[in-house]
Amino acid sequence: MTGLEPTLSYCVVNTNGREYLLACLAAIERTHPAGLEREILVLDNASEDGSAAAVRALGGEIRLIALERRTGKAENDSTLMREANGRYCLLLNEDSELRPGAAAALVAALDADPKAAAAGPQLLDSAGDPVPCAWRFPGVGTALAGALFLHRWMTVQSKGSDTRRVDWAQSSALMVRREAAAAIDYMDPAFFVYYDECDFAKRLGDAGWHSLFVPVAEAVHHDQLSTDLAKGLPRIVEFHRNRDLYMRKHHGPAAALAVRALTAWSYALRALAATVLPNQPAEVYWAHARQALRPDRGDSIRDRA
């Protein structure tokens, strides 16, 4: 990197994912577009697995922010964007790996659309298969679509082979125009994890910006979630608690109540079907159904942090 102002700031958040983090940083090195000024920032979220030491051992240009107290994804991404100097910030989870050409395609998409505040790539699972990664904003309509099992057709927007406008895209790998993020004071730290990027996109939209899905750009997002309820229940609690927070914040208590009921119904139907279908986690679906109805109960990831 030269003394020029960087065009792109890679902003990586890591929580106890040392090996994933090293793979993420290696992918940045392999895929960074030639001639594009950059900087790399890593926020280590009070990890206990030697992640911070591993980053320090790499040396070079990486700027490390090592937290002593664990904080939420929205707050961590905001910290990185505030510290960054680039015109664009590429937010990355530690378990995301960019494919060749991804960063260049995302930069080109934002350069071509001055009112686009964010651009997301096509996310791939660990096997390299595409997964949904951009959606319509949550509301009673999308909850009804889910209850009727039409979610894939009516809510998922990460489709097609051309760049398109979407309501919101997943922040596991998301390029953000730093000017736009600063204009709305970055992400809301009330969202510890889940729905943080959705709320961010909604506030950007309310301020006159929009988001893009850029399928020519690809990034692998490794699935670390478990169907073991002993490990997964805090995530289920956090998911529904933040979904309810989003609904109350943007649509009011009546709409939030309707979404809770519709979501619980759809998960309960899945749970009943899972009792007769092979290899289906019925107990996980029941946990989702119960939590959707009562998002206030139980211990969340925030509670255990």
Contact of 59 with 148, CB cutoff 8 Å: no
pLDDT in tens, the chain (305 residues): 455 689 999 999 999 999 999 999 999 999 999 999 999 999 999 999 999 999 999 988 999 999 999 999 999 999 999 999 999 999 999 999 999 999 999 999 999 999 999 999 999 999 999 999 999 999 999 999 999 999 999 999 999 999 999 999 999 999 999 999 999 999 999 999 999 999 999 999 999 999 999 999 999 999 765 445 556 889 999 999 999 999 999 999 999 999 999 999 999 999 999 998 888 889 999 999 999 999 999 999 898 87
The residue among 237, 212, 225, 6 whose CA lies nearest residue 114 is 212
The percent helix, strand, coil of the chain (3-state, each to 5) is 45, 20, 35
The phi and psi torsions of 46 (rounded to 5 degrees) equal: 55, 45
- Domains along the sequence of the chain with CATH: 8-221 (3.90.550.10), 229-304 (no CATH)
Contact of 5 with 76, CB cutoff 8 Å: no
What is the rounded CA–CA span in Å between residue 237 and residue 77? 22
The structure tokens 């260049």 sit at 104
Number of Cβ within a 10 Å radius of residue 218:
20
What does 234-283 look like in DSSP terms, one character per residue?
HHHHHHHHHHHHHHHHHH-HHHHHHHHHHHHHHHHHHHHHHTTSTT--HH
Enter the pTM of the model. Answer: 0.94
What is the rounded CA–CA span in Å between residue 190 and residue 262? 24
Contact of 280 with 273, CB cutoff 8 Å: yes
Number of Cβ within a 10 Å radius of residue 280:
15
